Structure 1
Amino acid sequence: MKKLRPQLDAQVITPADAGYDATRTVYPGGIDHRPAVVIRPDRAEQVAQVVLLARETGIPLSVRCGGHSTAGHGVCDGGIMLDLAKMRALDIDLSTRTAWVEAGMSTGEYTTATAAHGLATGFGDTATVGIGGLTLGGGVGYLVRKHGLTIDNLMAAEIVTADGQVRQVDAHNHPDLFWAIRGGGGNFGVATRFKFRLHPVQSIVGGMLILPATAEVIQSFVAEAEAAPEELSAIANIMPAPPMPFLPEDQHGRLVVMATMCYAGPPEAGERVLAPFRALATPLVDMLETMPYSGIFPPEDEDFHPLAASHTMFVDTIGHAEAETILDFLRTSTAMMSAAQLRVLGGAMARVSPDATAFPHRESRIMVNLAAIYETADEAGPHEAWIRRFANAMRQRDHGAYVNLLGDEGEDRVRAAYPGRTWDRLRVIKAKYDPTNLFRLNQNIPPAADG
């Protein structure tokens, strides 16, 4: 692979080079793939060179933005790892409240830069996630009820398709491809730039609220989140309390509701909206305050690479029985850390038609993510079995899945992310733009046989 250096106008890193191991490290633990070569382009034309190289040689191609793929899809074994880390340019147009940003920038970097102008685009809930991967899968974050999914604010994109063409896509140019990349993941090419709509978000009222976890508190928290105005988006993690210095020591290890609240509206109204949550029980920790939107993203430990069993799903309701189920399972977990995460959806996200984009879960009411974090790979079996039992106990009418939180779980789970006609339509578009399935190291959608 060293012969690539003079052929490609991009940074080439091989296993013999310093920095190779750091470059191939991704966020999830237990991923130890060794690409034959890592290529770091700095513009779309270089990306096109790499795509054509993979196409011509048949060498597997993985694409990394921030490295947070739960399945570790950003790094491959023995193939080409296309790392977009050098593609981080951001151009904010204040007159139109739009921004063009390259796919390798992190969501936190973008959020901090736009917050300086009192503007925001909603992404996820972790600042180190790459914009590219998060956007292509949908984007469920702290502004989801007020301003919709990330893809609901995507106005255009630049994408390199399997034929090496750099395409500009929007509602009028390649509208089928523009539809597919809004939720369909990395199946259709390498997205290199995005144009986003920006919203005025001068500040938010939010932060961390920790309550004792009882069935009544969990049920009531969800009910309050559903009844709240759409300016409020919240994430509730039911979990054993970690040994945080600001948490009373006698609470460490006890089950708590560790909630992150985000009210994107006037501070006075935010205080009124958050009051019912504070009243559910005497808070163990109350860090709710007025802050810049960027302040909702906490600092992260760069050395944290968790081994985890997980499951993402949607449910219609969290009543008393479901709350008791959550508590019962968490009490029986033998993992180093276990959690059930609840996110009430609706609002702006739900006002978009399910067939308007490749994210079909517009009518889903509550997203649930179950996780068990453990220490060594040989522990995986019992924790994965516990997750399966937990998911089966929580399952309701909605059998969907959020693609950005899927692990390596097989085709049936990918189909759950794209049920019904969405799957069929995506396969036809896949056949048009990537008939040989060059972009297959992802939550894969195979091309239609008759496409």
Structure 2
Amino acid sequence: MTGRHSSNSDTPMGVGGQRGGAADVPSPLVDEFASRLRGQLIRSGDPGYESARRLWNGVIDRRPALVARCDGDEDVVAAVNFARDNKLLLAVRGGGHGVAGHALCDGGLVIDLSEMTRVDVDPEACTVRAQGGCTLGDLDRETQRHGLATPMGVVSATGIAGLTLSGGMGWLRRKYGLSCDNLVSAKVVTADGNLLAVSASENEDLFWAIRGGGGNFGVVTSFEYRLHPVGPEVFFCNVYYPANRAREVLQSCERYVSGAPDQVGPLGVLGQVPETEEFPPESHGEPYVALLALFPGNPAEGERALQPLREVTEPICDLSGATTYTEAQKVLDDDYPDGGRYYWTSVNAPGLSDELIERLAEHAAAAPSPDSTIDVWYQGGAMAQVGEEETAFANRSASYLLGIEGNWEEETDSAENVTWVRDTFADLRSFSAGGIYLNFPGFLEEGEQLLREGYGGNYERLSAVKVKYDPANLFHLNANIKPKS
């Protein structure tokens, strides 16, 4: 049952305790909690429970005792207080698209923001405020009515919350920076149940921390972003070359970026040609290297600007063309279906040497799943012009991010795909000075070293902020920063 129609039984309901401590919450307390929510409280066995516990990543299979589907800030405050007072394991779900699956827990309470999707655009001020359950698609749909956008990711189903809190890399990163760089203000429910406004002039330490520090400090119920003129028509480069030309293609793109204006942020992709009608039949299953990029200005100008990326050598297939910004944001959607299985990690790299590119091509061709890829994010531009300590997001000076994406369908194939990701990561680490992107976190559970690399030199400062706002580590289902003792 949901909402105010919960059971009146006096039988205690077992709910898994935080940090391993069991907590049996009597049902009357749960009923009273449910009665205070404007939204729904979903229990195991209730209608809708199975769908409420599903995430985008089919690898994640957990069974929370309670899902509080919130309908506003007051519901979030009530849920945080209930979890804290009853010592419950607590997870926070925004868009539910985080690859690590932190949005779900076993036996505890999930604060579900998926119904909180209001978007308010102020075209004169060039700002937008969006609630924490919004996806990129929700945000883009409203901002594009005014020919405006804020930098987000590259898959429209991604939630804005998790993306922004750990940085936010997308097509506009070199032109306008990261998602977190464009955050103007936010509302945060902290572990003590307070709803705080944060900005450059209010609770400045918390504002600094949520721009790259992940979900460690509370539940962000709304985000206000700076907007920029983008679209509605853009030009999108989407060209595929044979992988045996990977060195030529990726290094040509490197030279292009070094001499190109910052509005172009290319993405190189190494994978295996899908068996779809867009590609010549003789290429199906063959390894490829692709270049993707969005030009946010006039499409005709964009076609000219992106032409060098489309003529490096003879392509397998060129799917480039003028389109709308909202459609460009969906180009990769079909590659990441709901319920697919995903395991990703990442490596920062200072350059693209011949040897590194050779390893990238070898690993991509050896992937056990034809859906897996290795992605080369060309960084720099606006995202590198923000100081390392201006926000909590670290490793801005890295020239490249290498995303290692294990993507597959069947549970029986999980072990070999995870092994491929881990083996590839271990090999590519030899080309790195350290650092990962915390939206592609991989296996942080294996030790603190990778976590500290992800936060870089900002880790100790983040730990101090954690002590102030969450000293008991209520919000620990994330790339967790332990409070300083």
Task: For residues 65-99 of structure 1, give each alpha carbon's deviation from its aligned partner in whole angstroms, at most 9, with x where no partner exists.
Answer: 11112211001100001110111111111111111
Residue type at the aligned position of 2:454? A
By how many angstroms is 1:52 displaced? Answer: 0.5
Residue type at the aligned position of 1:119? L
Task: For residues 170-208 of structure 1, give each alpha carbon's deviation from its aligned partner in whole angstroms, at most 9, with x where no partner exists.
Answer: 011100000000000100000001111110113321142
**Residue 290 of structure 1 corresponds to which residue in structure 2?**
322
**Residue 265 of structure 1 corresponds to which residue in structure 2?**
297
- 1:158 is aligned, of 187, 194, 199, to 187
Distance 1:375 1:127, change over 3 A: closer
Task: For residues 147-191 of structure 1, give each alpha carbon's deviation from its aligned partner in whole angstroms, at most 9, with x where no partner exists.
Answer: 000111100000000010000000111000000000001000000
Inter-partner Cα distance in structure 2 for 1:198 and 1:330: 36
Structure 1 gaps of 5+ residues are none
Could you tell me the TM-score, scaled by structure 2's length? Answer: 0.88
Secondary structure of 1:42 counterpart: coil
- 1:439 is aligned, of 475, 481, 484, to 475
Q: In the TM superposition, what are the counterparts of 1:238-387 in structure 2 within 5 Å?
A: 238-298=270-330, 300=333, 304-387=338-421
**Residue 187 of structure 1 corresponds to which residue in structure 2?**
216
Residue type at the aligned position of 1:345? Q
By how many angstroms is 1:339 displaced? Answer: 1.4
By how many angstroms is 1:331 displaced? Answer: 2.9
- 2:449 is aligned, of 412, 421, 425, to 412
Secondary structure of 2:403 counterpart: strand
Inter-partner Cα distance in structure 1 for 2:166 and 2:306: 30
Structure 2 gaps of 5+ residues are 1-26
Distance 1:79 1:408, change over 3 A: farther
Inter-partner Cα distance in structure 2 for 1:303 and 1:180: 32
By how many angstroms is 1:397 displaced? Answer: 4.0
By how many angstroms is 1:375 displaced? Answer: 4.2
Q: In the TM superposition, what are the counterparts of 1:14-413 in structure 2 within 5 Å?
A: 14-202=43-231, 203-213=233-243, 214=245, 215-298=247-330, 300=333, 304-395=338-429, 396-410=431-445, 411-413=448-450
Residue type at the aligned position of 2:178? L
Distance 1:136 1:445, change over 3 A: same
Task: For residues 90-115 of structure 1, give each alpha carbon's deviation from its aligned partner in whole angstroms, at most 9, with x where no partner exists.
Answer: 11111111111111011111112111
Report which stretch shifted further, 59-68 or 210-219.
210-219
Secondary structure of 1:232 counterpart: coil
By how many angstroms is 1:334 displaced? Answer: 2.7
Inter-partner Cα distance in structure 1 for 2:438 and 2:461: 17
Inter-partner Cα distance in structure 2 for 1:211 and 1:229: 24
Inter-partner Cα distance in structure 1 for 2:128 and 2:464: 31
By how many angstroms is 1:40 displaced? Answer: 1.0
Number of matched pairs: 448
Report which stretch shifted further, 408-417 or 116-125.
408-417
Inter-partner Cα distance in structure 1 for 2:65 and 2:422: 35
What is the alpha-carbon root mean square deviation over aligned residues?
A: 1.8
- 1:429 is aligned, of 465, 468, 477, to 465
CA contact (8 A) 1:207 1:296 kept: no
Inter-partner Cα distance in structure 2 for 1:87 and 1:324: 46
By how many angstroms is 1:408 displaced? Answer: 4.1
Residue type at the aligned position of 1:231? Q
Inter-partner Cα distance in structure 1 for 2:139 and 2:453: 31
CA contact (8 A) 1:216 1:320 kept: no
CA contact (8 A) 2:467 2:483 kept: yes
By how many angstroms is 1:28 displaced? Answer: 1.2
Task: For residues 25-61 of structure 1, give each alpha carbon's deviation from its aligned partner in whole angstroms, at most 9, with x where no partner exists.
Answer: 1111221101101111111111001000011000111
Inter-partner Cα distance in structure 1 for 2:154 and 2:435: 21
Inter-partner Cα distance in structure 1 for 2:338 and 2:118: 27
CA contact (8 A) 1:336 1:375 kept: no
By how many angstroms is 1:232 displaced? Answer: 0.7
Secondary structure of 2:44 counterpart: coil
Secondary structure of 1:142 counterpart: coil
Secondary structure of 2:133 counterpart: coil
Inter-partner Cα distance in structure 2 for 1:198 and 1:374: 36
Inter-partner Cα distance in structure 1 for 2:109 and 2:309: 49
Task: For residues 316-353 of structure 1, give each alpha carbon's deviation from its aligned partner in whole angstroms, at most 9, with x where no partner exists.
Answer: 11132221111222233333433110110100111100
Secondary structure of 2:274 counterpart: coil
Inter-partner Cα distance in structure 2 for 1:354 and 1:91: 31
By how many angstroms is 1:246 displaced? Answer: 1.1
CA contact (8 A) 1:240 1:253 kept: yes
Distance 1:130 1:374, change over 3 A: closer
By how many angstroms is 1:240 displaced? Answer: 0.5
Inter-partner Cα distance in structure 2 for 1:261 and 1:303: 22
Distance 1:388 1:195, change over 3 A: same
Task: For residues 357-397 of structure 1, give each alpha carbon's deviation from its aligned partner in whole angstroms, at most 9, with x where no partner exists.
Answer: 00022111111111233444454444333333322332334
Residue type at the aligned position of 1:409? L
Distance 1:292 1:333, change over 3 A: closer
Residue type at the aligned position of 1:338? S
Report which stretch shifted further, 64-73 or 373-382.
373-382
Residue type at the aligned position of 1:424? E
Inter-partner Cα distance in structure 1 for 2:369 and 2:356: 21
Inter-partner Cα distance in structure 2 for 1:155 and 1:330: 39
